[in-house]
Amino acid sequence: MAIIKIVELFSESLKSLFLLLLYFIMDKKEKTMSEITHEIDSNFAGRLNILRAGVLGANDGIISIAGVVIGVASATSNIWIIFLSGLAAILAGAFSMAGGEYVSVSTQKDTEEAAVAREQLLLDKDIEAAKKSLYAAYLQNGECETSAQLLVNKAFLKNPLKALVEEKYGIEYEEFTNPWHAAASSFIAFVLGSLPPMLSITIFPSDYRIPATVFIVAISLLITGYTSAKLGKAPTRTAMIRNLCIGLLTMGVTYLLGQLFSI
């Protein structure tokens, strides 16, 4: 029970750290406390997705770097070889995560902007066709004919482009995720996740290096498993056990591989 309490405490701290990080990354304007309290955050879902991606990025950093340093430490006791291998893996993994996230989010943003441009062109060329298109979208989304017509009339009195984009494509109008923010979040998360295995493998004496690293990595994986489950509103115990098993399997395989090529 004590371990579970410690895991929950560290998990809440990790979640708070990521929330604070995302606040500074994604907020371009300074706001007073009253504005933060009363303002409706229309991009909350996007922020939550990046937060979840950040936790998963940290998890990848833990498992990837733990696998590398355990494998190398199993093959040699030379601390500089272990350190350089871990450092190279951190840089490669962080840049790979950031690059992949940037490409993915950029592609999504380009697709969303193209959809907005298509609907704007439709509005400019044929407003009646745009009304029919929005009417059909409301019907497809479950509205009755009367309700759909009322919603169309209301939308064209306010912001027809917003209604067209959101109803036809499920896109939050003018709330595109910034690919640079997503890349930075993934990069920082991976580096933060890599710290527990990297520090433990280099700080502890050679006789205790591997078991101490396995223990610290196991605790870290329990924390990220708990945090990701909480964010996704999933069962925490299952996520923690699954995360721990994957991490132990990774370290076990790389340890055995290191033993085969022991220097």
Lowest-pLDDT range, 27-31, 139-143, 249-253?
A: 27-31
- The more confidently predicted of residues 55 and 252 is 252
Q: Judge contact between 39 and 175, C-beta under 8 A.
A: no
- Predicted confidence at residue 51, as pLDDT, reads 67
Q: Whose CA is closest to 51, among 19, 98, 97?
A: 19
- C-alpha span between 101 and 53 (Å, rounded): 9
For residue range 115-133, what is the model confidence (pLDDT) as tens digits?
888 888 988 898 888 888 8
For residue range 52-63, what is the model confidence (pLDDT) as tens digits?
667 878 889 999
Got the DSSP string for 92-139? HHHHHHHHHHHHHHHHHHHHHHHHHHHHHHHHHH-HHHHHHHHHHHHH
For residue range 168-197, what is the model confidence (pLDDT) as tens digits?
888 877 777 788 888 888 899 999 999 999
pTM: 0.71
- Predicted confidence at residue 239, as pLDDT, reads 87
Q: Judge contact between 15 and 232, C-beta under 8 A.
A: no
The structure tokens listed for 189 are: 């998360």
Q: Judge contact between 189 and 55, C-beta under 8 A.
A: yes
Residue identified by tokens 């190279």 is: 88
For residue range 20-31, what is the model confidence (pLDDT) as tens digits?
444 444 444 344
